[in-house]
Amino acid sequence: MIISRTPFRISFFGGGTDYPEWYNKNGGTVISTTINRYCYISLRNLPPYFDYKYSIRYSKREIVKKIENIEHPSVKACFKKFLNPNQSVELVHHADIPDKSGIGSSSSFTVGLINCLSYFDNQILSKKELAFKAIDIEQNVIKEAVGSQDQAIVSFGGFNKITFSKDKVFEVTPIPLNHKNQDTINQSIVLLFTGFTRYSSEVSKEQKKRISDNTDYLKKLTEITEEAYKMLSDQKKFSIKEFGKFLDQNWQVKKKLSSNISNKHIDKLYEKGMKLGAYGGKLLGAGSGGFMCFIVDKNKKNDFVKKFKLLHIPIKLDITGSQIVYYSQ
User: Do 213 and 123 belong to one domain?
Assistant: no
User: The domain spanning residue 237 has which CATH number?
Assistant: 3.30.70.890
pTM of the model: 0.95
Same domain membership, residue 187 and residue 80:
no
Residue-level pLDDT at 99: 79
Residues 249, 298 within the same domain:
yes
Are 223 and 169 members of one domain?
no
Per cent of the chain over pLDDT 90 is 81
Same domain (yes/no): 191, 292 = yes
DSSP letters, 106-148, are HHHHHHHHHHHHHHHTT----HHHHHHHHHIIIIIIS-----S
Instruction: Give residue 221's domain range.
Output: 179-315
Are 25 and 133 in the same domain? yes
Say whether both 148 and 270 belong to one domain. no
pLDDT at 261: 85
CATH of the domain at 112: 3.30.230.10
| Predicted pLDDT of residue 307 | 94
Residues 156 and 220 in one domain: no
Under 8 Å CB-to-CB from 317, ≥6 apart: which residues? 33, 34, 35, 36, 159, 177, 182, 185, 186
Half-sphere exposure of residue 123: CA atoms within 13 angstroms, side-chain side = 13
Q: Are residue 206 and residue 126 in the same domain, yes or no? A: no
Residues 165-188 have pLDDT tens digits of 987 789 999 999 999 999 999 999
DSSP states along 160-227? EEEEEEGGGEEEEEE----HHHHHHHHHHEEEEE-S----HHHHHHHHHHTGGGGHHHHHHHHHHHHH
Residue 168: the pLDDT is 74
φ, ψ for residue 219 (rounded to 5)?
A: -65, -35
46 shares its domain with 82: yes
Residues of the chain with pLDDT under 50: none
> 215 and 287 in one domain?
yes
What are 205-257's pLDDT values in tens digits? Answer: 767 777 888 899 999 999 999 999 999 999 889 999 999 999 999 999 999 98
Number of structural domains in the chain: 2
Same domain flag for 39 and 102:
yes
